[in-house]
Amino acid sequence: MKMAGGAQSRRIDLGPWAFVAPALLWTLAFFVVPFLVMVVVSLWERVGTKLVASWTFANYLKFFERGHFFEAMINSLEVTAIVTLLSILLAYPFAWIIAEKVPQRWQRIALVLAILPFWTSYVVRSYSWLLVLANNGVVNQALLGIGLVDEPLDLANSRTATVIGFVHFFVMLLTLTIYANLVQLSPNYRKAAADLGAGPFRIFWHVILPLTLPGIMVGAFLTFVLCIGDYITPQVLGGNNELLMPQVIMLQIGRRADFPTASALAILLMIVVTVAYLGFARWIRLERA
């Protein structure tokens, strides 16, 4: 039996609310309310430069009627899927090497190094890839130099550039989550499996991989959410040839100040993320253990 909380009184105490209220009110005022405003505005119409409260689903219908909105969503989903898959495939062996092959005392440094560029801002990181992938950038010059190509490749301003920019970021993120999962596995699992006669491949396939699946899934979900909502990377690296959802949303806000359409598109994007969350939910625990 443990002693119960603070001095519990028979009276009702308002004191505790004083601690919680500021954060709750902040979140309500600047997160919940704006979101509700967005939902309301998504049902309005823009007539000329004014917003009219007309209560219509027209903005949502536009998404299905206008080909380029729908296309942007498909592009976003495609790019996000490719990025998530590629990042996991690249990051898993990397995390495994750091966790298994690097001596214990160097692991932390190896990991910190591996995620150092993670801390460059989005804008700067995308710009850096532009430098690397530009027509006369480092990659093309190198390829020309060793005679692998005769003409510079059109790397920038393409889906490839967007994917490379994203994968760069998410390989670092996933290395972190997968590594965290790998190091907390007891080495006895492997010993037990080996003791029972499993070879290295079967140990990995039947023991290590299933045990690290939660880490992979958490990382995959983070990748999905951050990737599908990012505006900078496709805008800087993809150019305007092929638009993704965040770019289309920003176009509505920036060029046309069409808040109702932008809100409707943003809410549709959120719905997609929510569906993804439900799919991943069984692996994700945001609560403290």
Query: Where do we find the tokens 């990748």?
Result: 223
Which residues 172-191 are close enough to bind other proteins by CB under 8 A?
Answer: 172
Which residues 231-250 are close enough to bind other proteins by CB under 8 A?
Answer: 231-232, 236, 246, 249-250
Residue closer to other proteins (CB basis): 15 or 67: 15
CB of 206 to other proteins, least distance (A): 19
Task: Report d(CA 225, CA 144) in Å as an integer.
Answer: 38
- Interaction mask 21-60, other proteins, x per CB under 8 A: -xxx-xxx-xxxxxx-xx--x-------------------
- The region of 56-64, 164-172, 186-194, 210-218 touching other proteins under the rule CB under 8 A is 164-172
- Token readout for 187 is 């080495």
Query: Pick from 63, 70, 122, 204: which binds other proteins (CB under 8 A)?
Result: 122
77 part of the interface to other proteins, by CB under 8 A: no
Query: Pick from 49, 104, 121, 186: which binds other proteins (CB under 8 A)?
Result: 121
Task: Report d(CA 126, CA 152) in Å as an integer.
Answer: 20
> Which alpha helices (DSSP H) does 10-158 contain, by range?
15-27, 33-41, 58-65, 67-100, 104-114, 122-133, 138-145
| Number of Cβ within a 10 Å radius of residue 228 | 22
| Number of Cβ within a 10 Å radius of residue 253 | 15
224 part of the interface to other proteins, by CB under 8 A: no
Which residues 126-155 are close enough to bind other proteins by CB under 8 A?
Answer: 127-132, 134, 136-138, 141
* DSSP characters over 256-274: T--HHHHHHHHHHHHHHHH
CB of 48 to other proteins, least distance (A): 16
Query: Pick from 52, 53, 97, 213: which binds other proteins (CB under 8 A)?
Result: 97
Is 273 exposed, middle or buried, given 0-12, 13-18 or 19+ CB atoms closer than 10 A?
middle
199 part of the interface to other proteins, by CB under 8 A: no
- Interaction mask 2-21, other proteins, x per CB under 8 A: xxxxxxxxx--x-xxxxxx-
204 part of the interface to other proteins, by CB under 8 A: no
By CB under 8 A, the count of residues binding other proteins is: 87
Query: Where do we find the tokens 């006895």?
Result: 188
| Number of Cβ within a 10 Å radius of residue 71 | 15
